[in-house]
Amino acid sequence: MELTPICYFCINDSTYMKYIIAIGIFQALAATILLWRSRIRNQADDLLIALLVSICLHLSIKFFIYSFVLDTEVLTMMNTFIWFCYLPLLYLYTLKTIQPSFIPASKWYVFVPLIIGAICFFSVVSALVTSTKAGHQILSWYNAISVWAILSFDAIMACWIIIYANKKLNTQSNERRLIIQLASLFLATSLLSFSFIVIKPFGFAHNYIGRSIIYSVLIVICIRIITFRYSAFMNVAIENFGLNSISQNNQDKFKQVGNVDQDLPLAIKNSPQENKLTLSSSSAIMINERKELLSMDEMLSIALKLENAMNIERYYSDSELTLDKLSSLTKHNKYHISETLNHFLHKPFYTFVNEYRIKYVKQQIENLSQKDIEINMLSLAYDAGFNSKSSFNRYFKEIVGQTPTAYLKMITHHLEIA
């Protein structure tokens, strides 16, 4: 049987589309596995993983449609409801990055469009299975409504995320750059889709070009997330341009910085407001000049060693722990530790230490509550390394989002229900 020109192009375009989608599925899976297995992953990264899993699921559904569905109307009109979850997940990631104690479940209502879209999607699938003619009519309505809902929803949320991230996040933050770049990609995708619907470029009856570009953007998003956490492994230039490429002049200046080690005013207490390092202008210039001394590989190595030191040796339990003492215990230059914390983990020294202290206290509260043992909160605070009740309460609420007493009541309540 001879194929009509339209069917012929549909089959060719469908085959071409499957190649793009297969690449996207591979990228999404790779990014998910790499991020999930990362030893320096934080809680906000769980939302990036959810975003990658959503992309993988979205493309998998499309791959199934292009592989096994012969109905041309379904091939060209069936919008996937999963698109409704991309911007909400990025929005929650933005909030979690700004406030680590933020609980994503508290903003559950941002997924209402996803739930409605899923109900409509499966209703259309059921209609198509039951009656082809009626199903096509319902599909036409579903496509007309869903496409404008998705474009409007994504455009509004993308703009809001960009404005919010610009306002709340540090301009030098890697997370800020990632958020703005991803939101901009989604916004560009919405505008591109709008142009293909209204302007109808190229004049094709079955326009696969727009969808190909959109799926390619999803691939770019996956790659960008990988480079966000794994730039040290992917950027060969950084590996080949490490300490060996530093000029002798800069090495001499670095030695000068090391010599003023003991002269720097590092009178740091537990309060984050008191963690302010005052440097002379000449010292500040020398510190800035040595920022390039550590490659991403070296900072990653230091971060992993610090993590092991905290988890295994429990250095955080020392209430007198300082940057100098941690440097001595881990055998790392304190400026290297400081640079790793500030430019790789993006947190000051005492925030890094107190997060481990609070984590220890939370674990003890949960363990003791399960055994129905009376809890002395102040004793736990001292065991964790805090030297005052006020600093413990302040950091606990800042990191967890509620007071120690409120957290204990919540754990007790959950155990009673269980």
Strand, coil or helix: what is 131? coil
Give the span between the Cα atoms of 217 and 189, in whole angstroms.
Answer: 7
When mean pLDDT is compared across 2-16, 26-40, 201-215, the lowest value belongs to: 2-16
Helix, strand, coil percentages in the chain from 3-state DSSP, rounded to 5: 80, 0, 20
Q: Per-residue pLDDT for 389 more than 80?
A: yes
What is the average per-residue pLDDT within 196-209? 60
Considering 5-14, 111-120, 388-397, the range whose residues carry the highest mean pLDDT is 111-120
CATH of the domain at 14: 1.20.1070.10
Residue 200: what pLDDT? Answer: 64
* In a shared domain, residues 322 and 363: no
Stronger pLDDT, 266 or 68, i.e. the higher one: 68
- At residue 253, the pLDDT reads 39
Residue whose C-alpha is closest to residue 362's, from 396, 325, 387, 321: 396
Residue 81 burial (C-beta neighbours within 10 Å; 0-12, 13-18, 19+): buried
Is residue 35 a contact partner of residue 225, using CB atoms and an 8 Å limit?
Answer: yes
- Tally the domains of the chain: 3
For tokens 């906000």, name the residue: 44
Question: pLDDT tens-digit profile of 134-167?
Answer: 888 888 898 889 889 999 999 999 999 999 999 8
- Asked if residue 208 and residue 256 are part of one domain, the reply reads no
Same domain, 130 and 200: yes
What does the block give as tokens for 71? 């109905």
Whole-model pTM above 0.75? Answer: no
Say if residues 96 and 89 touch (Cβ distance below 8 Å).
no
Does pLDDT of 268 surpass 70? no
Same domain for 317 and 355, yes or no, is: no
Q: Do residues 28 and 222 make contact, with C-beta atoms less than 8 angstroms apart?
A: yes
Give residue 39's pLDDT.
61
Residue 400 pLDDT > 70, yes or no? yes
pLDDT bracket for residue 237 (50, 70, 90): very low
For residues 142 and 137, what is the distance between their CA atoms, to the nearest angstrom? 9
* CA distance readout (Å), 255 to 259, 262, 268, 281, 333: 6, 13, 24, 17, 12
pLDDT score of 18: 85
Domain hosting 309: range is: 243-346
Convert 275-303 to b/e letters by CB count within 10 Å (16 or more is b).
Answer: bebeeeeebeebbeebeebbbbebbbbbb
SS3 375: coil
Range 182-209 average pLDDT: 75
The CATH number covering residue 395 comes to: 1.10.10
The pLDDT of residue 417: 73
Instruction: Give me the chain's average pLDDT, please.
Output: 78
Q: Rounded to whole angstroms, how far apart are CA atoms 354 and 101?
A: 14
Query: Are 32 and 145 members of one domain?
Result: yes
Q: How confident is the model at residue 25 (pLDDT cuts 50, 70, 90)?
A: very high
For 8, half-sphere exposure in the C-beta direction (CA atoms, 13 angstrom radius) is 5
Q: Highest mean pLDDT range out of 106-115, 121-130, 196-205, 275-284?
A: 106-115
Nearest of 364, 357, 255, 240 to residue 296 by alpha carbon: 240
Q: What is the pLDDT at residue 5?
A: 41
CA distance 75 to 91: 30
Residues 6+ apart with CB under 8 A from 112: none
Domain end call among 320, 346, 372:
346
Instruction: Verify that 115 and 186 share a domain, yes or no.
Output: yes
pLDDT at 40 over 80: no
Query: Are 283 and 299 contained in the same domain?
Result: yes
Secondary structure (3-state) at 374: coil
Asked whether residue 45 falls in the same domain as residue 23, the answer is: yes
| Shared domain check, 332 and 248 | yes
Confidence band of 13 (pLDDT split at 50, 70, 90): low
Alpha-carbon distance of 18 to 20, in angstroms, equals 5
**How many angstroms from the chain centroid is the CA of residue 166?**
16
Residues 70 and 133 in one domain: yes
Task: Over range 185-204, report the average pLDDT.
Answer: 76
The domain boundary, picked from 182, 209, 234, lies at 234
- 243 — pLDDT class (breaks 50, 70, 90): very low
Instruction: Please check whether residue 66 is in contact with residue 28, taking contact to mean a CB–CB distance below 8 angstroms.
Output: no
Residue finishing a domain among 303, 328, 346: 346
pLDDT of residue 304: 87
User: Tokens representing 144?
Assistant: 């007309």
What's the average model confidence in pLDDT over 308-318? 87
Q: Which of 399, 366, 381 is nearest to 103 (CA)?
A: 399
- Report whether 138 contacts 130 (CB < 8 A): no
Same domain, 286 and 333: yes
Q: Is 411 in contact with 369 (CB distance < 8 Å)?
A: yes
User: Do residues 296 and 386 both lie within one domain?
Assistant: no
